Amino acid sequence: MPATLAEKAQAIVALLAEHYPQAHCTLDFTNPLELLVATVLSAQCTDARVNQVTPVVFRQYPTAAAYAQAPLAELEQAFYPTGFYRQKAKSIQQICQALEAHHHGQVPASLEELVKLPGIGRKTANVILGNAFGIPGIVVDTHVGRVAQRLGLTENKDPVKIEFDLMKLIPPERWTIFSHQLIWHGRQVCTAKKPRCPSCFLRPHCDFGQAASER
């Protein structure tokens, strides 16, 4: 690994920690199952909208068995405000059926077991591990992927490859908080269509920002 890339990553980690010390998961939950469900519901939907829906959902379906046994049409109606409700209902029910069949209804606290669940990939698994179990993981969502590429921390576009690139650069104890900080930065500053490069505190370390200043 080039020393300059390691130094860049170290500087970025420090600046993100300075500017987003309170960065955290913006999905509301009180246990691993609630976070799993909320994360699935957040696909193509804002966390704020999910948080409006989940209080009723969590009361109605407090266990994996409740989701597993519920009529699919009932779940679809409960998830309707989050969009793509048919697919989400089917996915959550299948996940919870697998939890009942293989994990006594409990969400497993390992990446290996989580990604065996239907429709659960590394991103969702790392969300659950980092925020529900305190097990560090880098979550590569659309914001993390975009910002990491623009900063020059990765040349890859595949989320799994980006995750492994970042794992080499970021200290393991910072993986979860770094993911949140990069997500917050992607939402507030380094947006997809109109990034605020002139006012970005990461600009001195950003390949995209430096190129923008030269244009």
Would you name the residues annotated as active-site residues? 123, 141
Neighbours of 103 (CB within 10 A): 15
Give CA–CA dist 69/208, Å, rounded: 49
How distant is the alpha carbon of residue 89 from its chain centre? 20
Report CA torsion sign: 105, 107, 108, 114.
positive
- DSSP assignment of 56-118 equals HHHHH--SHHHHHHS-HHHHHHHHGGGS-HHHHHHHHHHHHHHHHHHSTTPPPSSHHHHTTST
Contacts of 153 (CB under 8 A, 6+ apart): 5, 8, 9, 12, 165, 166, 169
Give the tokens for residue 60. Answer: 């109605």
User: What are the tokens at 192?
Assistant: 């997809």
